[in-house]
Structure 1
Amino acid sequence: MSNLRPYALSMAGFDPSGGAGLLADCKTMEALGVYGLGVCTALTVQNDVEFERIIGVATADVRDQVQVLLRRFPVEWAKLGLVDNLPELPGLLAWLRELRPTLSLVWDPVLKASAGYDFHTTPTPQLVSQLCRQLALLTPNQPEMLRLWPAATPELAAAAVSMFCPVLLKGGHTTGPEATDLLFSDGQEVARFTTPRLSHGEKHGSGCVLSAAITAELAKGQPLLEACRRGKDYTTQVLASNDTLLGYHFQDH
C-alpha cells in the first residue's frame, strides 16, 4: 500500500505574513495530508493588518511555473487565489485545461484585501460566466459574491452563478451567534455548514484557508459536499487556535 500523499496546487499571491495566499494554502494542505505545490501569481507588500501594494507576476511567468510542475507531478486539483490581471484569467484557465484536461479548479475570488485594498474593478457578468464555466467550485464571501454578480442578496447572486459551477457562499461576514456557509448547485441551495461564531475568531486569510482545505479534501477523493464540510471544520479549528489575526495550522502537543 502506497504511503505517498496526493498533490494539490495553489496558484496564489505571496503574503509575507504567512496568513493568506501561497504560504497559508500550503500549510493547510500539508496539515490535511496533501503535498502542496505552489505557483506565485503576485507578490504583496503587507502584514496581517496593513496592505501597501501588489507586484504582479506576468501570465507568461505563471504559465512557466505551472508547466514545470505539471511535467513531473500528477496534480488533479488546484486552487486559484489572487490574480493580478482578471481579464487574462479565462485564457489562463483554457490553457490549463489543454495542458492537463483532468485538472479541476477551485477559485477563491480575492477581489479586496482585508485591510481595504481593492485588487480589481467589478468584473462584467460575461467575464464571470466565462470563468465559472471552467471551475469545479467558486468560494466567494458575501461582498465578493455581490461584486461578481448583481443581485438583491448574496444568496440570489450565488444561486444565479451556480448555474455555471457550484458556489460555496461563505458566511463569515454575517452577524449572529453562528456562521453558516451555503453550497449552491444548479440554482438551488444544496447544503448548509454551520459553526458557532467565535468571539476572537477573526483571522487574516481565513478564506484562503477554507478554499485550500476544500481543495485538499477533494484531492484526497472526498465528494464535494463532504469536502466542504471538512474544510469548514478545519477552518474553524484554525480560527480557534489563538486570539491573534494569524491562525495556527499545527497545534502544540
Structure 2
Amino acid sequence: MEYQRNIVTSIAGLDPSGGAGILADIKTFEQHHCLGFGVASALTAQTEDQFFDLKWLSFQQILVQTEPLIKHYHPAVLKIGMIENLNVMNKLITWLKNCSPALKIIWDPVLSASSGCTFISEIDKNLLYHILSNIYLLTPNTNEAQSLSALENEQQAAKKLSQYCNVLLKGGHSPNHKGTDLLFSADKILSLNASTDNLPQKHGSGCILSSAIAANVANGLRLEEACFKAKRYTEKILNSNHHLLAYHA
C-alpha cells in the first residue's frame, strides 16, 4: 500500500505526560505532515517537572515492536531517543542497518532527564564511534557532547564527534552560544541563530527539535534546511504557552 505521507519512526521512552519521548515525537511528525510511528524503549512515570520511575525494555522487546514497522512500512528516516546503554544501541543500529541499509538514523542522545535522573553514564569510546559511523545525525546539547567526547570545550567536543557523523550541537544549555545551534557537517560549521531571545522553557524541547529534523529530512529537505526549519518550528512550540508542557496545535 502506498501512503501519501512520508513515514518516520521514533524509538524512545514513553512519557505519560506527552511532553517528551515517543508521544511528543509523533505529535511533531504529524505537524510536519508525516505518518508517525512509535516504539517504546522504556516506560517512565513522570510529569513535566518530576521523574518518578523508569523501566527499561530489553533489546528483544524493542525489536519485536520495531521489526514489523521497518519491514512493512519501510520508513526512510528513524529517530532514536533514550536507550538503556550503548550495547543495546549498538545491537539496534546493527539490526536496523542490516534490515534497511539506506535508513537515515537521527540520534538524540538523552543521557539524563530534565528532572535530573541519569540514564547512560558509562561510555565505551570504541563502541560509541562504531555507532556514530552508522547514523546520519547526532543532536547533543552541551553536556551530552562533553560526556560523549570526554572533552570540556563544547565546540571541540562536537567537532570530534563529527568525525563520524553529522552533529547538531544544541545551544539551549550553552554558556557561550546560548540559543545558537551549530551544525558540524563535512568539515563545515553552520550557525543557526535563534530568532528571538528569552524563549520559555519546555519539557521535551530536545525531542521536539530532533523529531522535527527527522520529519523534514523525510520530506526531502537537505540537512541544513531541515535543521533550520526544525529550529524555527521548535521556537514556535516554545512560545505556545508559558507552561512546561507544550501545545503542538
Give the TM-score of the pair, scaled to structure 1. 0.94
Q: Measure, in 1, the Cα distance between the counterparts of 2:93 and 2:7.
A: 19
- Cα deviations across residues 54-94 of structure 1 (Å, max 9, x unaligned)? 10111111111111112321311000001123222112101
The C-alpha deviation readout for 1:159-210, integer Å capped at 9, x for no partner, is 0110100000000012589610000024x44211111454351000000000
Deviations 1:133-157 (A, max 9, x none): 0110000000010000012311101
Is the CA contact (8 Å cut-off) linking 1:15 and 1:44 kept in structure 2? yes
1:3 CA drift (Å): 7.5
Map of 1:206 onto structure 2: 205
What SS class does the counterpart of residue 206 from structure 2 fall into?
helix
SS for the counterpart of 1:231 is helix
- Match runs of 1:220-235 below 5 Å: 220-235=219-234
Output aligned runs, 1:1-253, within 5 Å.
Answer: 4-175=4-175, 179-186=179-186, 188-196=187-195, 198-250=197-249
Whether the 8 Å contact between 1:178 and 1:197 is mirrored in structure 2 is no
Please give the alpha-carbon distance, in whole angstroms, between the structure 2 residues aligned to 1:178 and 1:114: 17
In the TM superposition, residue 130 of structure 1 has moved relative to its aligned partner by 1.2
Task: Give 3-state SS (helix, strand or coil) of 1:195's partner.
Answer: coil
| Structure 2 unmatched ranges of 5 or more | none
Supply the distance in 2 between the matched residues of 1:92 and 1:240 (Cα, whole angstroms): 35
- Any unmatched runs of 5+ in structure 1? none
- 8 A Cα contact 1:141 1:172, kept in partner: yes
Change (3 A) 1:177 1:223: closer
Aligned equivalents of 2:177 and 2:129: distance in 1?
Answer: 34
Distance in 2 (CA, whole Å) between partners of 1:72 and 1:135 is 21
Identity %: 39
Does the 8 Å CA contact 1:198/1:240 hold for their aligned counterparts?
no
Distance 1:165 1:177 in 2: 22
Q: Which moved more, 1:62-71 or 1:195-204?
A: 195-204
Contact 1:41 1:56 in 2 (8 A): yes
**Partner-residue secondary structure (3-state), 1:62:** helix
Supply the distance in 2 between the matched residues of 1:85 and 1:36 (Cα, whole angstroms). 25
Instruction: Give the Cα separation in 2 of the matches to 1:178 and 1:105.
Output: 26
2:195–2:232: 8 Å Cα contact kept in structure 1? Answer: no
- C-alpha distance in 2, partners of 1:176/1:169? 12
Q: TM-score, normalised by structure 2?
A: 0.95
Is the 2:135–2:165 Cα contact (8 Å) retained in structure 1?
yes
Q: Aligned letter for 2:127?
A: L
- Verify the 8 A CA contact 2:172 2:178 in the aligned structure 1: no
Output the amino acid matched with 1:232: K
- Give the counterpart letter for 1:246 in structure 2: L
Q: Is the 8 A contact 1:13 1:40 kept in 2?
A: yes
CA distance in 2, matches of 1:129, 1:176: 26
Please say if residues 122 and 148 of structure 1, whose CA atoms lie closer than 8 Å, have aligned partners that are also in contact: no
